[in-house]
Structure 1
């Protein structure tokens, strides 16, 4: 790699990394509050929440890598133009096409990484994210229900159970308060209930009998 190529790449990489970090952080910050809620209010271990965070990063990087690349081009060539370095390079016989060579190399690298993220990393991380959420919900459903207590760890649902089987699956004398619509409060009672795990669709269902 020639000196000019290295010089231009050094101009591109720092603003690219800064832009990548800033834009990714702006997208992640919206999810951080939900993840912190899992720790504080749901009692989910910190290491599981951090694992969830790593699973959602690839989907954000697909968006922020191209934005970071565009920012790097604008900042790098804006500085070179402002300092008259491009004029000096042209005066020394360097053609505009020659200046584009390291840019094309950098663009190809970012495009390949983005394509790999879209085709490989994002589908796998999305599946891993859903699987981990399902495991957390399944654990919370089993551990979060206690006998003769109004259990409010299920969002807009409050569940009261008179008796809980040792396997924490079978429930006796179930009371459910559905508060999803404050103006339409629903109360459901059942003699029996069961917690059913759907490993295919990654859902935990309370079936009332």
Structure 2
């Protein structure tokens, strides 16, 4: 019986590890796809990106683990049934409950570990992830403004730039800037157009300022 339990357990662990990393990879790719335009060409150090991906990976573990267990279970018992190993177990007098017993115990252990991970690690990872993302956006306020896309996250204003260029001091030069003032709810009647501009953050990090050049 012990050999049978070891056989089933090792047959389950292999697909579990494989499907877990595949699920984590897919979920992290979703995160990268969401923020790829903001991260590329921003002059961010590799270790900052690595830290950001690390915290993002920690956040997707609770979603990846159930998928991995489900897929690994299907693959394991599918292979056992395909090679008539389940029939061999039953013919030897081993019931399905006895066959599944080591997997049930193993999944219970994983569940306890997942509970501890979600209760103690995920909150810290979330805090560090959003703190790091906020710091990146605070240091480089133009990171949210995409070329040829209307940016309306500032209340009462909509900004569109044609292109951006990184500067030596870490700031970014905005080219062909258009700023629509919607604070009076009068539509697009108040428009400021400038050849270029630099967006920066105040010293207390509470206000944005945009210095425009050759504007009308």
Q: Same fold (TM over 0.5)?
A: yes
CA contact (8 A) 1:39 1:45 kept: no
Question: Which residue pairs with 1:206 in the alignment?
Answer: 208
How much does 1:118 deviate? 1.9
CA contact (8 A) 1:38 1:44 kept: no
Cα shift readout 1:123-178 (whole Å, capped 9, x = no counterpart)? 1101001111222223224xxxxxxxxxx55514579xxxxxxxxxxxxxxxx854
How much does 1:91 deviate? 1.1
Please, which runs of 5 or more residues in structure 1 have no aligned partner? 142-151, 160-175, 199-203
CA contact (8 A) 1:39 1:46 kept: no
Provide the rounded CA distance (Å) in 2 between the counterparts of 1:100 and 1:179: 64
Give the 4+ runs in structure 1 shifted more than 6 A.
Answer: none
Question: Which residue pairs with 2:170 in the alignment?
Answer: none
Provide the rounded CA distance (Å) in 2 between the counterparts of 1:26 and 1:44: 23
Measured at CA, do residues 180 and 121 of structure 1 come closer, stay the same or move farther in structure 2, by a change above 3 Å?
A: farther
Question: Which residue pairs with 1:137 in the alignment?
Answer: 137
1:188-207 aligned at under 5 Å gives the runs 195=202, 197=204, 205-206=207-208
How much does 1:31 deviate? 2.0
Cα shift readout 1:93-120 (whole Å, capped 9, x = no counterpart)? 2122211211112211221232122211
1:19-168 aligned at under 5 Å gives the runs 19-141=19-141, 153=143, 155=145, 156=151, 157=159
Please, which runs of 5 or more residues in structure 2 have no aligned partner? 146-150, 152-158, 162-176, 194-199, 211-216
Question: Which residue pairs with 1:13 in the alignment?
Answer: 13
CA contact (8 A) 2:31 2:56 kept: no
How much does 1:89 deviate? 1.0
Query: Secondary structure of 2:207's partner?
Result: strand
Measured at CA, do residues 194 and 38 of structure 1 come closer, stay the same or move farther in structure 2, by a change above 3 Å?
A: closer
**What is the count of residue pairs matched by the alignment?**
173
CA contact (8 A) 1:81 1:87 kept: yes
131-140 or 43-52: which moved more? 131-140
CA contact (8 A) 1:178 1:186 kept: yes
